[in-house]
Amino acid sequence: MFYSVHEILGWNIMALLPYDGAMIPGLRKFHEPSATFHYAKRDIVIRQNWNQLGVAAVVWDAAIVLCTYLELGTIQLQDRTVIELGAGTGLVGIVAALLGADVTVTDREVALQFLESNLQENIPPDLRAKARARELNWGVNLDQFDPGSYDVVLGADVVYLEEAFPALLETLEYLSSEQTTILLSCRIRYERDQNFLQMLGSRFVVEKVHYDTEKDVHVYKAQKRLAKEDL
């Protein structure tokens, strides 16, 4: 999804995307044309394109941490239906596909061609039919997806913009059933991030299942509350 740099880093910077952060040391790695990772016994080369798509086209720590968590095998992915929200570069969805899932990676229309190119370059031909990119604007075109039809919903760094919280929550509710596992990885940067977790907890059972101390990224698991729990 699309962010402004001040939302992500907490700096007092007003920016429109794409943002030229080449002179900021912490952002230099995002100006590299690609980034290489090793998951599911494969090298994954992710193209980046900050100049064209800004922060939607670079790999953030939350995605790396979520991929590492998926590779631990705590969540069964083999032959499961998975959807990733705000997929950006597609790294998380690619890893899920390599681990055996049938994956739909989603983002806004402007990012789809870029997203699809990373799928094509990293998913082998024998798995290619089990990975696809689709447009999804949170809370908008949900009727184009089957409600409650996914085993796993993934989101890396999708908790960032307070105005988007209701639409994100609506989307999570629509896509999931009581059997669906939702995994969200994020940094807790602001009080509003905690507020989203409280909103999520009012409709889902939420627990923190992983924390990367080096990258300061949390992974939360959420599942819909059973109807009887609401009585």
In a domain, 215, yes or no: yes
Say if residue 180's pLDDT is above 90: yes
Q: Are strands 152-156 and 181-186 parallel, antiparallel or unpaired?
A: parallel
Closest CA to 83 of 92, 74, 72: 92
* CA separation for the pair 150, 138 (Å, rounded): 16
In a domain, 31, yes or no: no
In a domain, 175, yes or no: yes
Instruction: Write out the chain in H/E/C secondary structure.
Output: CCCCHHHHHCCCCCCCCCCCCCCCHHHHHHHCCEEEEEECCEEEEEECCHHHHHHHHCCCHHHHHHHHHHHCCCCCCCCCEEEEECCCCCHHHHHHHHCCCEEEEEECHHHHHHHHHHHHHHCCHHHHHHEEEEECCCCCCHHHCCCCCCCEEEEECCCCCHHHHHHHHHHHHHHCCCCCEEEEEECCCCHHHHHHHHHHHCCEEEEEEEEECCCCEEEEEEEECCHHHHC
The residue type at 96: A
In a domain, 157, yes or no: yes
In a domain, 92, yes or no: yes
* CA separation for the pair 228, 230 (Å, rounded): 5
% of the chain residues with pLDDT over 90: 73
Model's pTM, two decimal places?
0.86
Cα dist from 204 to 159, 194, 212, 221, 229, whole Å: 16, 15, 23, 9, 10
In a domain, 23, yes or no: no
Q: Are 59 and 47 in contact (CB under 8 A)?
A: no
- Between 21 and 73, the more confident residue is 73
Our count of domains for the chain comes to 1
The pLDDT-based confidence of 118 (bands split at 50, 70, 90) is: very high
In a domain, 7, yes or no: no
| Structural domain containing residue 174 | 56-230
To the nearest 10 degrees (0 to 180), the angle between helices 112-122 and 91-98 is: 30
Lowest mean pLDDT among 27-36, 128-137, 206-215: 27-36
Average pLDDT over residues 146-174: 95
Question: Residues 194-231: pLDDT tens digits?
Answer: 999 999 999 999 999 999 999 999 999 999 988 655 54
Average pLDDT over residues 63-92: 97
CB-based contacts of 113: which residues, under 8 Å, 6+ apart? none
How far, rounded to the nearest angstrom, does the alpha carbon of residue 125 sit from its chain's CA centroid?
A: 24
Average pLDDT over the chain reads: 86
In a domain, 187, yes or no: yes
Q: Are 216 and 60 in contact (CB under 8 A)?
A: no
What's the CATH code of the domain at 197?
3.40.50.150
Q: Which two tokens stand for residue 82?
A: 């998975």
